[in-house]
Chain A
Amino acid sequence: LAKTTQPISMDSYEGQEVNITCSHNNIATNDYITWYQQFPSQGPRFIIQGYKTKVTNEVASLFIPADRKSSTLSLPRVSLSDTAVYYCLVGGKYNFNKFYFGSGTKLNVKP
């Protein structure tokens, strides 16, 4: 399983753009990159997924360079409600979606 490395924590202020980078040096050809968000006392929630280049949805953008050894989750104009733990995962169909979550990045958004 490809393991991931993320910063333990990040601080930001409301209205700022936040970029969280994840390293996954041994990502496999079949692996996709997925980001989840988790609030206290809740299960993780899917944010975005991509394979290469850039993916954007209504919540976030995901930037993946050509070598795919890292990825960056971009959250535009964060609010206090974005305070949560963000997990970067890599995995693919052929390992039965057995994700390695790691410890995630604790994002603290301040007023």
Chain B
Amino acid sequence: GAGVSQSPRYKVAKRGQDVALRCDPISGHVSLFWYQQALGQGPEFLTYFQNEAQLDKSGLPSDRFFAERPEGSVSTLKIQRTQQEDSAVYLCASSFYSGRLREETQYFGPGTRLLVL
């Protein structure tokens, strides 16, 4: 497809369950980002990949959160032992990294809405 896709679009989990959220970035995009967006708030940075390398994971809220991008394309955000405070929309974004100083536009997916009961 032409844009960033995410699946599932909606996920309901019972507290304590593990969940896996998938992101398919735009083909050829080197950079991939995960954000968490709580209701009524702006997106908050979670982690950043350049190809398969996770260069920044400073935004991950706890060690229950884990992200990977093993082949430098599709990425998965995994949340173990989900808690109610994990309920949020999880956004994925990708950008083409040209190496120039000018910032790269991030293209966002529609997000996965996670509800933990």
Interfacial residues, chain A to chain B (CB-CB below 8 A): 30, 32, 34, 41-46, 49, 85, 87, 91-93, 96-104
State the CA gap A24–B114 with chains docked (Å). Answer: 32
Contact B101 A43, beta carbon cutoff 8 Å: no
A41-B110, A49-B103, A102-B42 given; A97·B4 CB < 8 A: no
A96-B48, A97-B31 given; A30·B110 CB < 8 A: no
Partner of A97, one of B33, B44, B100, B110: B33
B58 contacts across to A, CB distance below 8 A? 98
A34-B103, A43-B110 given; A96·B55 CB < 8 A: yes
Partner of A99, one of B45, B107, B110, B111: B45
The A interface is mostly helix, strand or loop, or mixed, namely loop
State the CA gap A87–B45 with chains docked (Å). Answer: 14
5 closest Cβ contacts across the A-B interface? A43-B108, A101-B42, A32-B103, A46-B105, A101-B43
Size of chain B's interface in residues, with CB distance under 8 A? Answer: 32
Interfacial residues, chain B to chain A (CB-CB below 8 A): 4, 31, 33, 35, 40-45, 48, 50, 55-56, 58-59, 91-93, 95, 100-111
A43-B4, A43-B93, A43-B111 given; A97·B106 CB < 8 A: yes
State the CA gap A99–B105 with chains docked (Å). Answer: 11
State the CA gap A102–B44 with chains docked (Å). Answer: 8
* Minimum CB–CB distance for B111 against chain A, Å: 6
State the CA gap A53–B50 with chains docked (Å). Answer: 31
Contact B102 A103, beta carbon cutoff 8 Å: no
State the CA gap A98–B102 with chains docked (Å). Answer: 14
State the CA gap A99–B103 with chains docked (Å). Answer: 11
